[in-house]
Amino acid sequence: MNSTHHATRSFLRFNIEQHILQKRWLIVVPVVLFAAYIMGENMLVVAKSQELSPNIWNPLFNIFGNGNAVFWMFNFLFLFLISDLSVETGFGALLLFRLRSRSKWWLAKVLTLAVAALVFAGMLLVLVGGVASFAFPWSTSWSELARGYAGRIGPNPAVLVLSPSGAFLRLITLLILGWFSLGLVTTLVSSLTNNGIVGFLAGAVINIAGLLAYKGYIPRYLQNYSIATHFLLDFHRFGTKASMYPPFGASIIYWAVWIALFTTIGFLLCRKKDFLSEKDRS
């Protein structure tokens, strides 16, 4: 029993080292720093022109709550970073034999993906918050710009019934769940095809479908089933039942069902995965 647990921990540690603690994750730094700088500068221009004072929450919500940034930049970056998570190396296949369980192999991949989503979110928060803190003051309340320009830059007016920290926690929660869920599909397809590119393309197709929904290219009655609604905090209602948007809790359930479904499919399909042939090919 102890040897099995040790093998499981070793395999999980191997996956984290192999797929997260890698130099390619550094690509996040220049991309996000550049985007944070440009979007922050634009916000300062708007604040000056409107003569409304901003604070740190303005760039944070404008970047993390911006559908274009999420679907064009963050999602594709994350898919690129995790696309080969389930493409096993020869050494990884050898560790599987020590595990003596295909289910534990898939569980380790799912846990590694969860760690990747958390690390990715942490990196973005540090980078965006670090850049924004040079130009925007910290505050515990909404700024004049957020209240006077709501819905055009920053969160929509419905979100302002929450505290900035409470709203931002909800926003980050949706993003992490969304990245984890999108990553599950990518990891599953990569595992089935033993090809990270195919997995990336599968995730990209779902992401583009979400982008089209965000842009309004699908009927309104179908949009609540799209990932766009459940990725972005602005597409939720707070404090009113008259809104056409779902409550925050509905998105938690949406992602929970998604995660449970694709995790279960992964457990079922990994029983048929041919690890021996992968080892021979490596």
pTM confidence score = 0.90
Q: For residue range 35-50, what is the model confidence (pLDDT) as tens digits?
A: 999 988 888 888 888 8
| Domain around 105 | 2-273
Gap between the Cα atoms of 98 and 4, Å rounded: 8
Gap between the Cα atoms of 245 and 91, Å rounded: 48
* Ranges 103-107, 136-140, 272-276, most confident: 136-140
219 domain-assigned: yes
Given the structure tokens 């070793």, which residue do they identify?
10
Q: How many separate domains does the chain show? A: 1
Determine which of 19-33, 38-52, 105-119, 263-277 has the lowest per-residue pLDDT on average. Answer: 263-277
Q: For residue range 211-258, what is the model confidence (pLDDT) as tens digits?
A: 999 988 888 777 788 999 999 998 888 876 667 788 899 999 999 999
Residue 209 confidence (pLDDT) above 90? yes
Structure-block tokens of residue 230: 């459940």
203 domain-assigned: yes
- Cβ proximity of 79 and 204 under 8 Å: yes
Q: SS3 helix, strand, coil % of the chain, rounded to 5?
A: 75, 0, 25
Given the structure tokens 């926690």, which residue do they identify?
169
Residue 278 confidence (pLDDT) above 80? no
78 domain-assigned: yes
Contacts of 23 (CB under 8 A, 6+ apart): none
108 domain-assigned: yes
169 domain-assigned: yes
47 domain-assigned: yes
132 domain-assigned: yes
Q: Where are the beta strands (DSSP E) in the chain?
A: none
280 domain-assigned: no
